[in-house]
């Protein structure tokens, strides 16, 4: 079997690919959190929240693909297997069963807030190691912050 050779030195590749793998797990998990809430949301704002959840799911899945392909391009096979995601995923998620619209909004605010905080740490970590990966993470962060803002606006007034 041949492997893909990286354009980065080994130490830089290790930093970049760890950031990418952790981001992949967060994004795949975030897409599952969004779908779980999407399927089970109930309440007076059902339709708008239901559709908004699908926007997050689509973004998270698209970004997961981009992140995985970046890792592969750097010579490290991405690991998006269900058991890997289940073992490593720690973002907030909805409870089992029906989810009140306001609870779905709050879980998404919390999950996106945590995902953004972790992405910002990875942005710092990849600054010198791989500016290309850093740029990718910056773009993902901007979109997830936008999604967080949109869900948080649903909580107004508090």
DSSP calls for 85-143: HHHH--S--PPSS-EEHHHHHHHHHHHHHHHHHHHHHHHHHHTTT-HHHHHHHHHHHHH
Q: What distance lies between CA 100 and its chain's CA centroid?
A: 23
Predicted TM-score (pTM) of this structure: 0.95
The confidence band for 7, taking pLDDT boundaries of 50, 70 and 90, is confident
Query: What torsion, rounded to 10 degrees, do the Cα atoms 115, 131, 2, 18 define?
Result: -30
Average confidence score pLDDT of the chain? 95
How far apart are alpha carbons 158 and 154 in whole angstroms?
10
Provide the total of helices (H) and of strands (E) in the chain, helices listed first.
5, 2
Least confident among 1-15, 20-34, 81-95, 101-115? 1-15
Q: What is the pLDDT of residues 19-73, one digit of tens each?
A: 999 999 999 999 999 999 999 999 999 999 999 999 999 999 999 999 999 999 9
pLDDT of 117 strictly over 60: yes
The percentage of residues in the chain with a pLDDT greater than 70, rounded to a whole number, is 97
């Amino acid at each position: 079997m041949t492997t893909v050779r990286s354009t980065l030195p080994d130490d830089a590749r290790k930093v970049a690919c760890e950031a990418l793998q952790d981001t992949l797990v967060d994004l795949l998990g975030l897409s599952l959190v969004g779908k779980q809430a999407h399927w089970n949301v109930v309440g007076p704002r059902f339709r708008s929240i239901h559709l908004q959840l699908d926007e997050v799911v689509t973004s998270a899945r698209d970004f997961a693909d981009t992140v995985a392909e970046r890792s592969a391009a750097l010579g490290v096979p991405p690991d998006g297997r269900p058991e890997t995601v289940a073992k490593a995923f720690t973002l907030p998620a909805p409870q089992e069963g029906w989810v009140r619209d306001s609870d779905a909004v709050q879980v998404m605010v919390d999950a996106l807030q945590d995902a953004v905080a972790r992405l910002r740490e990875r942005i710092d970590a990849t600054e010198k190691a791989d500016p290309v990966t850093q740029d990718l993470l910056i773009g993902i962060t901007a979109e997830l912050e936008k999604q967080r803002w949109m869900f948080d606006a649903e909580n107004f007034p508090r």
